[in-house]
Amino acid sequence: MTKGRVVGINGNMVTVEVAGDVTMNEVAYVSCAGKKLKSEVIRIRGRLAEMQVFEMSRGIGVGDEVEFTAELLSVRLGPGLLAQVYDGLQNPLPELAAQCGFFLERGVYLSPLDEKKEWPFTPTAGPGDTVSAGDALGTVPEGIFSHRIMVPFQFREPLRVERIVPAGSYRILDTIAELSDEKGNRFPVTMTFTWPVKRPVTCYRERLRPVEPLVTQIRIIDTFIPVARGGTYCIPGPFGAGKTVLQQVTSRNADVDIVIIAACGERAGEVVETLREFPKLADPRTGRTLMERTVIICNTSSMPVAAREASVYTAITLAEYYRQMGLHILLLADSTSRWAQALREMSGRLEEIPGEEAFPAYLESVIAGFYERAGLVRLRDRSSGSITIGGTVSPAGGNFDEPVTQSTLKVVGAFHGLSRERSDARKYPAIHPLESWSKYPGLIHAPGTEYARDILFRGNEVGQMMKVVGEEGTALEDYELYLKSEFIDSVYLQQDSYDPVDAAVPTERQRHVFRLLFKVLASRFDFGSKEMARFFFNQLRQKFLDYNGSPWQGDDFRRYEDEIRSFLETKRSGEDEEGGRILKELGSDTAGDPS
């Protein structure tokens, strides 16, 4: 085992003189006041290794002993990860609290998985089978999932199953199989293994293009700026614009198997809400609690900065592990800017040549490398799994023209930009409908959304114009366009996250409601005056909002829909030609539409 001694300390960076070999990203422990503090090698220069310490560095002195482990920074994989709350280094926080009390004590590292728990194992491979890294040897039930016990990802060559245990109860450290390679080396395998967090897991057959929508049940997203399973998206926005709330609702309602929340350098209080509420909230699709499909990686803003840098990698590695079981994972990282800032702090201590706003020159490639780990893959058994990544960005001054936002926009497939103007006006979710974009297909027939977007765009132009020339100087026709665009905004783009019904709108309902909205948009009206037009749309809006708040296909829902339809007829004088054609097309892809 290589050893060394501390020769310099600067913030959380420690310089160590090493006697022996060291590896980049190797984990080492610095002895300080009877504690061993976890650290990672981040630069090697001759006999000097520079390490970031994952703990407060107070009290470390020159001459303190350092032990190198010859292992890269890794996480432990195996059954029992779900419903856990870990810090950035996979230390289980509730267990830590049970041991240390209110405060995070440094130098205490607990096993991430329960080593005593017994799991009912059912073998799926048999002696003589040939298996490769990531192939299933058997399964254990973990909550609602069948958790595959896999050949550890490290093996590069195909292996032969020599022996496998019969079905029964085993603990994660029990040997459940013995594998051998061509040379006859034998490898005992348990239900758990470790994997270095900064190395992507690639034990799949091929990567596929993400095309299937990931339904978030948020109308503006699913209809106008969709996310795809296996895709990536980002949410930049100034403080208080609603990034975290948006991710919180997504974490509840998104149509995926598992949600991994990486609370990266943000407020502890926000994680606490999730932590306390998820165990009580039922997942409508499974009837079990939301916590059972969630993992929380929590390295909040006052926790050590180096561990914050590691936390997003811990999160993505857990996601890759579950994807390998043919599951669909959503990784939500809040906020990737804090992670980038952790990189910046360390780069500064390493005295690297700074780029824009003092971020390191390699920022862009690091961000790209992270989002690149998302993806839809076909596994060797032909099943598929996906990781979707959604990251918030917290740009300085709310100005998107800064390195983290710009680097992120280059690599993601969808951009949900939050606007200060909309959040100030309490128009939630405050996603800017015209500036945001997505490269993925949505839930709704594309010409329909294009038509609606066009109205939003032109109506917005009229609105701008009206600020200058006033209502008097605006033609009735333009004014109608403006009212239509406002109508889309208030009844469709805006959504009340705190309303029990409106908070989550499933696919079927979204298609149905969009069709009704579209009918309004494609209509020609006979208003006579602007007052009349405004009065009409105000009334219609009120009815539509009540409609949005009524349970799907209930009595109220049907009643409001009838009211909307007949109220529409009172002023409707015809139909726009293109709109009418699209409306027919929309009808055909809306199965079960009563009209």
Partner 1 sequence: MKKIYSRIEAIAGNVITVHAGGVRNGELAVVSSAGQSSLAEVIRLREEKVSLQVFAGSRGISTGDRVRFLGHPMRVSFSADLLGRIFDGGGKPRDNGPELDENMIEIGGPAVNPAQRIIPRNMIRTNIPMIDLFNSLVESQKLPVFSVSGEPYNPLLARIALQAEVDLIILGGMGLKHDDYLFFKETLEKGGALNRTVFFVHTASDPIVECLLVPDIALAVAEGFALQGRKVLVLLSDMTNFADALKEIAITMEQVPSNRGYPGDLYSQLAARYEKAVDFSGAGSITILGVTTMPGDDVTHPVPDNTGYITEGQYYLKNGRIEPFGSLSRLKQLVNKDTRADHRALMDSMITLYAAYKESLEKKAMGFKMTDWDRKLLKYGVIFEREMMDLSVNIPLETALDNGWRILASCFSPEETRLRSELLRKYWPSREGESD
Question: What distances in angstroms separate CA 226 from CA 191, 217, 419, 570, 586, one per listed residue?
Answer: 38, 10, 18, 35, 18
Q: Which strand (E) or helix (H) includes residue 2?
A: none
User: Could you tell me which residues come within 8 angstroms of residue 474 by beta carbon, excluding any fewer than 6 positions away?
Assistant: 462, 465, 466, 482, 530
**Binding-site member from 122, 206, 239, 288 for ligand ATP (CB under 6 A):** 239
Q: Does 423 bind Mg ion (CB under 5 A)?
A: no
Q: How far apart are CA 22 and CA 67, in angstroms?
A: 11
**Binding-site member from 200, 240, 580, 587 for partner 1 (CB under 8 A):** 240
Q: Does 15 bind partner 1 (CB under 8 A)?
A: yes
Binders of partner 1 among 418-477, rule CB under 8 A? 424-425, 470-472
**Binding-site member from 112, 375, 417, 429 for ligand ATP (CB under 6 A):** 429
Could you say which of Mg ion, partner 1, ligand ATP, none residue 276 binds, taking C-beta under 5 to 8 angstroms by partner kind?
Answer: partner 1
Could you say which of ligand ATP, Mg ion, partner 1, none residue 312 binds, taking C-beta under 5 to 8 angstroms by partner kind?
Answer: none
Q: Does 242 bind ligand ATP (CB under 6 A)?
A: yes
> Which CB sits closer to ligand ATP, 36 or 308?
308
The set of long-range contacts for 117-120, using a CB threshold of 8 Å and a minimum separation of 24, is: 117/80, 117/171, 117/172, 118/169, 118/170, 118/171, 119/79, 119/80, 119/169, 119/170, 119/171, 119/172, 119/191, 120/167, 120/168, 120/169
**Binding-site member from 12, 192, 217, 244 for Mg ion (CB under 5 A):** 244
Q: How far apart are CA 246 and CA 237, in angstroms?
A: 11
> Which CB sits closer to ligand ATP, 150 or 331?
331
Q: Does 403 bind ligand ATP (CB under 6 A)?
A: no
User: Could you tell me which residues come within 8 angstroms of residue 70 by beta carbon, excluding any fewer than 6 positions away?
Assistant: 1, 2, 23, 26
**Binding-site member from 4, 9, 227, 518 for partner 1 (CB under 8 A):** 9
Q: Does 428 bind ligand ATP (CB under 6 A)?
A: yes
> Which CB sits closer to ligand ATP, 102 or 498?
498
Minimum distance from residue 204 beta carbon to ligand ATP (Å): 34
Number of residues that bind ligand ATP (CB under 6 A): 14
User: Could you tell me which residues come within 8 angstroms of residue 515 by beta carbon, excluding any fewer than 6 positions away?
Assistant: 583, 586, 587, 590, 593, 595
Q: Does 74 bind Mg ion (CB under 5 A)?
A: no
Minimum distance from residue 550 beta carbon to ligand ATP (Å): 19
> Which CB sits closer to Mg ion, 229 or 243?
243
Crossing angle (nearest 10°) for helices 507-522 and 446-469: 50
Q: Does 250 bind ligand ATP (CB under 6 A)?
A: no
Could you say which of Mg ion, ligand ATP, partner 1, none residue 548 binds, taking C-beta under 5 to 8 angstroms by partner kind?
Answer: none
Please provide residue 348's backbone torsions phi and psi, each rounded to the nearest 5 degrees: -65, -40
Question: What distances in angstroms separate CA 485 from CA 213, 533, 535, one per listed residue?
Answer: 25, 13, 15
Minimum distance from residue 429 beta carbon to ligand ATP (Å): 5
Candidates 270-278, 377-385, 479-487, 581-589; binding stretch for partner 1 (CB under 8 A)? 270-278
Could you say which of ligand ATP, Mg ion, partner 1, none residue 331 binds, taking C-beta under 5 to 8 angstroms by partner kind?
Answer: none
Contact criterion met (CB below 8 Å) for 373 and 323: no
Number of residues that bind partner 1 (CB under 8 A): 63
Nearest 10 degrees: Cα torsion 233, 328, 253, 505 = 80
Apex 328 CA angle, 322 and 333, nearest 5: 80
The footprint of Mg ion (CB under 5 A) covers 243-244
The footprint of ligand ATP (CB under 6 A) covers 237, 239-245, 266, 394, 428-429, 497-498
